[in-house]
Structure 1
């Protein structure tokens, strides 16, 4: 019997606005944001739906980060549109 595997992570892609914002973050902010992005890649439904869009809005109050993203139809790619830390 093969060992059980953890949840399959989706590939994360950042679009230009998110990359621009990411470049302005400190190392500490980037580290906090990384944890949120890993969580989203494993569980894409974490964020709340933004009404009348395909976007989801995930806020981690403990780490103080916010990520706006959407997930492709097959849930294999998570596209990050905006980050805030």
Structure 2
């Protein structure tokens, strides 16, 4: 990899229930959630594995947002129905 380029970010996809929840958030809550999603796209290993599942639970205490997601083998990240801000 060229030193001028950072590692490729993971692709983030939101499922319909998560998109519905986003419509209910304020602009400030959306901004806080966006920061967490960007962090996860850069490092999909963030968060804690949920026992006996393929899910990861990431809570960001600084931004006050929590995301439960699934990281595929191709490093695509699906944001699940449960997001809170």
Give the deviation of 1:29 after TM superposition: 0.3
Structure 1 vs Structure 2 CA RMSD: 1.0
* Residue-pair matches, total: 83
Partner SS for 1:30 = helix
Which residue matches 2:12? 12
- Distance (whole Å) between structure 1 residues aligned to residue 31 and residue 56 of structure 2: 21
- Distance (whole Å) between structure 2 residues aligned to residue 19 and residue 34 of structure 1: 13
Which runs of 5 or more residues in structure 1 are unaligned? Answer: none
Give the deviation of 1:17 after TM superposition: 1.6
- Distance (whole Å) between structure 1 residues aligned to residue 43 and residue 28 of structure 2: 23
Give the deviation of 1:26 after TM superposition: 0.2
The residue correspondences of 1:2-81 to structure 2 (distance < 5 A) are 2-75=2-75, 77-81=76-80
| Displacement over 2 Å in runs of 4+ | none
- Distance (whole Å) between structure 2 residues aligned to residue 4 and residue 46 of structure 1: 24
- Distance (whole Å) between structure 2 residues aligned to residue 41 and residue 14 of structure 1: 13
Give the deviation of 1:20 after TM superposition: 1.3
TM-score with structure 1 length normalisation?
Answer: 0.92
- Distance (whole Å) between structure 2 residues aligned to residue 52 and residue 9 of structure 1: 26
